[in-house]
Structure 1
Amino acid sequence: MQLAYELIAAIFPIFAAILVGAALKRYLIKAADVWAGIDRLTYYLLLPSLLIVEIYRADFSSGNAGTAVGVTLAATLGLSAALLLLRPLITRDTPLFTSIFQGSVRYNSYVLLAVADALYGAEGLALAIIFVAVMVIATNMLGVVVLSAFSGGKSNLKRIMGGIVKNPIILAAGAGAILNVSNIHVPLPIENTAALFKTAALPLSLLSVGAGLRFIMDKKALGAIALATSIKLAVLPVITGVCLYLAGVDGMVLAMGVLYAGMPCAGNAYILARQLNGDAEAIASIITLETLLSAFSVAVIAGVLSIN
């Protein structure tokens, strides 16, 4: 009972902040420009500050994070291959298939970082950042390739791929890693300034996640929405957990891999679907449902991992 209470106490504020963001967008701060500004502030300044500071300060001399990330990536690629092979059985509606695919393999890095920080503190946050740095490239690439192949959305492909390479999250993770391994001493005033910015990253990003939810279900695609949600919140975490266990990964590192796999789909999957002619309404519904249900699935995953 005490364990359940502690898990709820850790996870509740994350999803409460998401719901507050949704309520603010609906009732108080309705202007889209305001939320667009918050998104840019978080994406280009606050979250990069968080990544640089935490990676710079982290101790990566021990543990098997590299193995865990590699196995997690392999599990994601394996699931992706299975979805592609089973596409004729899943649906013949190719734009809808791209939404099922994105909803099954994409993840929300903001929620992952917040969950890692809440459950495992600074050490867990630093570990989650390693997953983010690698998987944000892989899952974005997968989404772009599948959308381009099945929806014919190639007109913006070069620009989108360039945007992935220039992603501030990737650049910040790289900068933090260089500072960490090179033993470069960052002057304390500069480090403290970046640390000040990073404190606002997670609260604002969670509010932004909530503001981006669209509470209109695409009724013509209910089966696809349920399938993608089931795969993302249940099937992929189980597959990833088994693979990590068989690879000899345990403890917090295993937990982080499973939690990563169980994160809801990223909000920018909707933007990608619009840019590359996917089924934007279906992926919007998938994102909303996964985000809401992940409040429960993440608690279950954390509980099972804590017991074991």
Structure 2
Amino acid sequence: MEVITTITPIFIIILLGWAARKKGFITSDFLRPANQLVYYLSIPAMIFNSISKASFQEQFDVRLLFLTLLAASIIYVSTHLLTGILKMTPDRAGTFVQSCGHGNLGYIGLPIALYYLGDSGLAKAGIICGFLMILQNLMSVIILQLHSEKEFHGYKFILIKLCKNPVIISAMAGIAVSALALPVPGILSSSFTILGGLAPPMALLLIGASISMKLIKEYLRPTLGAAVIKLLFLPALGLVFFRLTGLTSEEFLPALILLCSPTATLAYVMAKEMQGDAEFAVATVSASTLFSSVTFVLWLAVV
């Protein structure tokens, strides 16, 4: 019952975002600056504040991090091989692979970790999130390029973008402060708390506003395939690894929540920039977000 009472309100806010977009309360002109506000300011403040306050020695688990990254890597490689077997077109193949592995960590994974596990769970999830986000971005670029018909010369650009990623920067900064036990001034910490408080509800509303039912219907079969792999196979693989190595549910739940996250909205941006199937990416983001309302309850109830 606790799982349902925690997860249901989160997806009610997502549906409110979708309804607000349909009614015109959230417009296209509002979406871009609102996304920038959450992505560049609010989420980084929330991540830094939670990690910097936590004990790095207690929250960091190298075995958990390795298994999480291993599960994500296996999904990228196996779905890449699957697209060859299914003989997908290059643009569809690259987008399909990253849709199966590229999770929405900042906008959905971290808010659920916060609401379900509290500040301690958020701190552990934030540490893993920084490393997992680096892996996801690198693997997505590599996969999209492998399926691209155009030569790509932007690897240096991608590396620079990763180094400038506000979520990655805030996670690494929080890890440094926590590991070195550096004090954070009370005024600064309070400011981060206020700013970070904006992130969860605003992120959920924006995710809802991005959902497209029309494109889900148009790309129904491949979208369902990608959603099943992202929401069921990836978390299942991670859970098997966690159980086989003797980790307790309290230890691995923050990582499992991140693996359960639906396809990231960034999948659309990357598909559009690297000759992928952008509309299919939107369909997968929309469908996996909606279906994750059920799969999150399923996985948390199982654990």
- The alignment's TM-score, normalised by the length of structure 1, stands at 0.92
Query: How much does 1:90 deviate?
Result: 2.4
Q: Give runs of aligned pairs for residues 221-236 of structure 1, distance below 5 A.
A: 221-236=219-234
Structure 2 residue identity aligned to 1:246: L
Query: How much does 1:102 deviate?
Result: 1.2
Assess if the C-alpha contact under 8 Å between 1:64 and 1:253 holds in 2. Answer: no
Partner of 1:130: 127
State the aligned residue count: 301
Greater displacement, 138-147 / 221-230: 221-230
Greater displacement, 270-279 / 151-160: 151-160
From 240, 248, 251, the counterpart of 1:250: 248
Q: Deviations over 1:89-148 (max 9, x none)?
A: 123311111121011101011211111112111111111111211111100111111111
Partner of 1:102: 98
Q: Give runs of aligned pairs for residues 183-222 of structure 1, distance below 5 A.
A: 183-217=181-215, 221-222=219-220
In 1: Cα distance, 2:220 partner to 2:90 partner:
16
Assess if the C-alpha contact under 8 Å between 1:90 and 1:97 holds in 2. Answer: no
Assess if the C-alpha contact under 8 Å between 1:52 and 1:173 holds in 2. Answer: yes
Question: Would you say 1:43 and 2:32 are equivalent positions?
Answer: no
Structure 1 residue identity aligned to 2:73: L
In 2: Cα distance, 1:265 partner to 1:190 partner:
33
In 2: Cα distance, 1:248 partner to 1:64 partner:
16
Query: How much does 1:67 deviate?
Result: 1.1
Assess if the C-alpha contact under 8 Å between 1:64 and 1:249 holds in 2. Answer: no
In 1: Cα distance, 2:75 partner to 2:32 partner:
33
In 2: Cα distance, 1:149 partner to 1:187 partner:
47
In 1: Cα distance, 2:180 partner to 2:241 partner:
33
Q: Deviations over 1:267-302 (max 9, x none)?
A: 110011001110111111111110000000000111
Partner of 1:33: 29
Partner of 2:86: 90
Query: How much does 1:219 deviate?
Result: 5.2
Assess if the C-alpha contact under 8 Å between 1:106 and 1:139 holds in 2. Answer: yes
In 1: Cα distance, 2:154 partner to 2:59 partner:
41
Question: Would you say 1:150 and 2:147 are equivalent positions?
Answer: yes
- The alignment's TM-score, normalised by the length of structure 2, stands at 0.94
5+ residue gaps, structure 1 = none
Question: Would you say 1:301 and 2:296 are equivalent positions?
Answer: no
Q: In structure 2, do the counterparts of structure 1 residues 155 and 210 end up closer, same or farther at CA, with 3 Å as the change threshold? A: farther
